[in-house]
Amino acid sequence: MEKPQEKSTPTSSLLLAFRLESRPVLLIGGGPVSHSRLIHLISCGSHITLISPTITSEISSLISSSNSSPFPSKITYLKRLYKGESDDIKVKDFSIVLTAIDDPIISKETYELCKFHRIPINVADVPDLCDFYFGAQFKKGLIQVMVSTSGKGPRVGAMIRDIIEDCLPEELESSVEGVGILRKELREKVPGIGGDKSKKRMEWMKSICDAWGLDNLKLFKEEKIREWVFINGWEKDRVVRPDQIPWNEMPEEIRIQYRKGMKKDKRVGKLDVGGTEMFFGLLGWVLGTALGALFMLGLAMLISWYMSHKS
Amino acid sequence: MEKPQEKSTPTSSLLLAFRLESRPVLLIGGGPVSHSRLIHLISCGSHITLISPTITSEISSLISSSNSSPFPSKITYLKRLYKGESDDIKVKDFSIVLTAIDDPIISKETYELCKFHRIPINVADVPDLCDFYFGAQFKKGLIQVMVSTSGKGPRVGAMIRDIIEDCLPEELESSVEGVGILRKELREKVPGIGGDKSKKRMEWMKSICDAWGLDNLKLFKEEKIREWVFINGWEKDRVVRPDQIPWNEMPEEIRIQYRKGMKKDKRVGKLDVGGTEMFFGLLGWVLGTALGALFMLGLAMLISWYMSHKS
C-alpha cells in the first residue's frame, strides 16, 4: 500500500474543479458522510445512484426535494446492500465512485474494481484507497475555494477555510460577475477557439483585469461601460484604464458607483481617526492644561513673592 | 454542446484534490500552457508522457532536471505530432489527459476518445471540452489552496488567490504539521480502518483541534506534548485543553513557545499604542499646556489689576 504523505519528499495533490453536470456518479452508503457528499453532488447537477439499505432522514428529505426541483441533479435511490463485483450496478458505468460504508472488505473490492476500470474513487476515511480527497471548501456566488492539507487533518483545513472566508472582501462576487459578462460578450463578438484570436482575447482580458483592479471590475456589470471599453479598447487594440472612461457621459448611477470606489481607494492613505486617537488627544489635553496651569501658578506665586519682598 | 455556466441556475464544480503519484498522465503540446501544466504534474509525482514536435526551452530544462532528481516524477518525451485516434499512444492507458495545442480537430477527437473511455480530460482554453478546470492555486508547505471562478475569469481567480495568500498567518504550516504528526501517531497506536474505532479517533482529533485552536496546534510537533495528551487525554477518554498541560514539567523551550503564543493572544484585547496615538497625545498636550498657561496668565492679570485698583 502506498503512503505518499509519509515519504521524505511529500508530493502534492493536483487540485481540480470537476464538472459533473449530468454525469453519472455512484454513491454507496447512507450515513452522515454520504449526506455531506450528496450535498456537493447535487450542487454539481450530477445524476446520482445511491445504494444503501438505510438512509438518514436528512438524506431522505434531500432526495425528495432534489428530485422535485428544477435543478438538473437527479437521484436514483436503491434501498439495498451494495454487493461489490457481483452487483448489477457496475462501477465502469460511472464518472466517479464514492463509498462511505463501514465494510472494509466491500470498500477494498470496490477500490480494486475502480482501479481496474480507471474510474476515480474515494473511500471515505481510508486515504490509501482514494484517488482524490475532498478538501474543506466554500462557495460565495461564482467563487469556490478549496483548502487541502494533504490528508494531515480535515479539521485544520476547515479552520483555514474559515479564516479565508472572513478575509475575502464582500463585493468580490460582483467583480467576478462583471468580468464574466465582459468575457462572455467578447467571446460572442469575437468567436473562435484555439489559435491566435483566442490568445489575443485572453491577453486583452488579463490586461484589463490588471488595469482596473479587483474592486473596479464590478463596473463591467454595466452595459454602457462594456460597450465603451469594447469600442475604444478592444477595437482600437488598446487597454483602457478606468480613468480614461468619460464618466461625465455615463448615467449618474454608474458615476456614483465609480466615485464610491475611488473614495474608498483614497481613504487608505489618509489618517484614520478613531476612538483611541481621540482618547489620547483628550488625555494629552487634560494633562497639558493641568501642567500649564501649575506652571503659571508657580510663576504667579514667584512674582507675588518677589513683589512682596520688593515692597 | 453544453454550456453549464450560461444557465439560469448555474451548477458548481466539484473541487477535488487528485492524487497522481506514480499515475500515468498524457500531456499533448509543448507551449507555455503545457509548461505550467508540467510544473503541477511534476510536483504531484506523476509519470508523464509528453507528445509535441517542439517544446519551449523551459520545458526542455524541466525534463532534464526532473528526470535526474530523486523526485518520484518521470517524464517520457516523444518528439513528434500526436495523431489522435490512430496514434500508438492510447488515451485509455492514462489516468488523466491534458491537451494544449492549437489544433481544434485533434483536440475535439481526443476529447471524444476520452469521453468514450471515461478518462478525465482538459482541453486548454476550450471550456466545453473539459471534464475539469485548473483553478488559481498556491502551496504553502502542506497547505494547498485553489480558487475557482466557474470559468468566469482566470485572472480574477489569480487576484483572489493573491489576497488569500496574503491573509494566511505565517505559522500555519507548523500547526498543520503538528496535527499531522499527532494524527499519524494515534493511527499507529490505535489502528483500524472503518467502523467505530476510526470514528472515535476522528471525533477525538476534531475536539482536540477545536480545544487548542489553530495557533497552539504547532505545539504537537513536540513529542512530550503528544505523549502527555495521549496518556492523559485519549487513554482516559477525555479532551485535554492546553491550559491543563503541566507546563512546569515540560522542557523550557516548549514552555517558552507556549508562553509566546499566550502573550500574542492577550495582546489582541489590549490597546495598541502606535505613532498616530503618540502624535495625538502630544498635540493635545501642547495645546492643553498653551491653554492652561493662557488661562493662568489671564487670571494673574485679573488679580494684579484687582490688586492695583484696590490699593
DSSP result, A218-271: GGGGSHHHHHHHHHHTGGGT-PPPGGGS-GGGS-HHHHHHHHHHHHHHHHTTS-
Specify whether the backbone of B82 is left (phi greater than 0), alpha (psi in -120 to 50) or beta.
Answer: beta
> Is residue A311 domain-resident?
no
Any idea what the CATH number is for the domain that residue B37 is in? 3.40.50.720
What is the domain range of residue B151? Answer: 135-168
Asked whether residue B128 falls in the same domain as residue B156, the answer is no
Q: Is residue A5, in this structure, part of any structural domain at all?
A: no
- In angstroms, what separates the C-alpha of A151 from chain B's closest C-alpha? 8
Same domain, A143 and A127: no
pLDDT at A195 over 70: no
Q: Are residues B128 and B148 in the same domain?
A: no
What pLDDT, on a 0 to 100 scale, did the predictor assign at position B8?
Answer: 37
Q: Count of domains in chain B? A: 3
CB contact under 8 A, B292 and A292: yes
Look-up: residue for cell 460582483? A174
In residues, how long is chain A?
Answer: 311
Of the pLDDT bands very low, low, confident and very high (cuts 50, 70, 90), residue A27 is very high
Q: Taking 90 as the threshold, does the pLDDT of residue A55 lie above it?
A: yes
CA angle in degrees (0–180, nearest 5) for A241-A246-A248 = 140
The distance of A78 to chain B (nearest Cα, Å) reads 23
* A2, pLDDT greater than 50: no
Do both A240 and A212 map to the same domain?
Answer: yes
Report chain B's mean pLDDT, rounded to a whole number.
Answer: 85
A150 falls within a domain: yes
Among B19, B109, B183, B296, most A C-beta atoms within 10 A, so best to mutate, is B19
Claim to verify: residue A25 and residue A127 sit in the same structural domain: yes
Is B147 among the domain residues?
A: yes
What's the number of CA atoms in the CB half-sphere (13 Å) around residue A239? 14
Q: Do A281 and B284 touch (CB under 8 A)?
A: yes
Find the CATH number of the domain harbouring A143: 3.30.160
| pLDDT band at B160; cut points 50, 70, 90 | very high
Q: For residue A59, how many other CB atoms are within 10 A of its CB?
A: 23
For A66-103, how does the pLDDT look when each residue is reduced to its tens digit (9 = 90+)?
877 766 788 999 999 999 999 999 999 999 999 999 89
- The answer to whether the complex's ipTM is over 0.85 is no
Asked if the structure places residue A263 within a domain, the reply is yes
Cβ neighbourhood burial of B134 (10 Å; 0-12, 13-18, 19+):
buried
| Burial degree of B240 (CB within 10 A; 0-12, 13-18, 19+) | buried
Confidence of residue A149 (pLDDT cuts 50, 70, 90): confident
Task: Determine which of A203-212, B106-115, B196-205 has the lowest per-residue pLDDT on average.
Answer: B196-205
CB A110 within 8 A of CB A97: yes
Chain A interface disruption, residue of B152, B171, B200, most A CBs within 10 A: B152
A-chain residues near B44 (CB < 8 A): 11-14
Both B100 and B176 in one domain: the answer is no
CB contact under 8 A, A194 and B287: no
Whether residues B217 and B139 share a domain: the answer is: no
Q: Which of A134, A156, A189 is the last residue of a domain?
A: A134
A184 and A232 share one domain:
yes
Q: Which three cell numbers stand for residue B286?
A: 501642547
The answer to whether B9 contacts A70, with C-beta atoms less than 8 Å apart, is: yes
In a domain, B194, yes or no: yes
B120 and B22 housed in the same domain: yes
